[in-house]
Amino acid sequence: MCNLYRIEKNPDAIRRLFADVQIPLTFPEGIPNLQPRDVRISEKAPIVRFNRDRGVAELVERRWSWPAPGGKPVFNMRSDGREFSRDRCLVMIDGFYEFTTPDDPKQKRKDCWLFEPAQGEIAIAGVVRDDKDVGEAFTMLTVPPGPDIAPYHNRGVALLAPAQADCSDHRREPRHRPRVRPPIFARWLGRRRHRPTFQSGARRASH
């Protein structure tokens, strides 16, 4: 399951992204100094939540995961058959990684695969929770995998896009170019229920 993802966008790029879908974006805690990087569990990263009182989206930085009762990090949560009527957020990403067992039994490290869209933007549907130990934190929602994710993992993160996007397959073998019609950002930040899905290809990454 996704335990590492990539963020490259700066705050102005995120602001323009939301302007394109007519959602005002504000920075209630100041404009963060975002640098391109890989985000790991328990690190702070940018999320967007919706302030219904003001009718605007807010970009803030929050910790990825909160501790479960046993101490393990809750960095993802199954969304199957569940309603999330509150505490929704968008986890801003530019790509995410999956790890698989290598074909070579002598290879100690797992193969690392980077999933990213060929064009357009994506985010992961998430929820936030206020934890007494770590403060407000977010987790990612998961869904059954699409056909391009299934060879790598039996679950997929719930990916959203502001509009329809084409995603090409970046594996070593040439494959088709699947059409993707994911829900728009506004549906997740609003009140309408949906089942977010996404299809993408992957390219081998060095990690």
- This prediction's pTM: 0.77
> What tokens does 196 get?
């977010």
Number of H helices, E strands in the chain: 2, 18
pLDDT band at 101 (very low <50, low <70, confident <90, very high): confident
- Whether residue 165 is predicted with pLDDT greater than 60 in this model: the reply is no
pLDDT (tens digit, 9 = 90+) per residue, 115-130? 887 677 888 889 999 9
Tell me, what CATH number does 66's domain have?
3.90.1680.10
- Looking at residue 26, its pLDDT comes to 94
Question: In sequence order, what DSSP letters do the residues of 113-182 get, joined into one string?
Answer: EEE--SSS-EEEEEEEEEETTTEEEEEEEEE---TTTTTT-S-EE-EE-SS-EE----SSS-----EE-P
Give Cα 187 to chain centroid, integer Å: 15
- Whether residue 98 is predicted with pLDDT greater than 50 in this model: the reply is yes
Q: What's the domain count of the chain?
A: 1
Boundaries of domain holding 55: 4-205
